[in-house]
Amino acid sequence: SGLAPEIAYFRWTNPATGVEKPFDANTQLVKPNGDILVHASDRHNLLRPETVESLFILWRITGEAKWRDYGWQIFEAFEQWARLPDGHGYSNLLDVTVVPPQHADKMETFFVSETLKYLYLLFSDSSTVPLSRYVFNTEAHPLPHFTWN
């Protein structure tokens, strides 16, 4: 689907023992020779803002086009898979590892108030809410910098 699951784990080796942590293929989605595993109960996507928020900050700090490219891929995946067939809204997805993913018939409010705001800002001119003059709180509200007198 091009969208991330709610939770993903990375394959790792204990540096002290050199022993790799085993994956349980019966309860986890593991791609052959893959380094990422996803539990069956974590395969949903709630349309969270954290990834696009990070892409927005990285774009503003570095100016590297790849951050916008990644954001555009996420936006296109939201449009393709999370948008409702009638075009009147979006829905959480039950399992992003299957195509097409099934809608959950629910959309969290943070999708509109945060996720789409960060996508908008990612593709806006850098003079729109400049990071040199504003800081974002945890709910994606821009607050102006100020000094104590």
Amino acid at 106: K
Amino acid at 105: D
Q: Distance between CA atoms of 7 and 25, rounded to whole angstroms? A: 16
Strand order from edge to edge, sheet including 28-30: 9-10, 36-39, 28-30
Q: Is 139 a catalytic residue?
A: no
Task: Indicate which residue of 6, 76, 79, 108 is catalytic.
Answer: 6
Pairing mode, strands 134-136 and 28-30: unpaired
Give catalytic residues, as residue numbers.
6
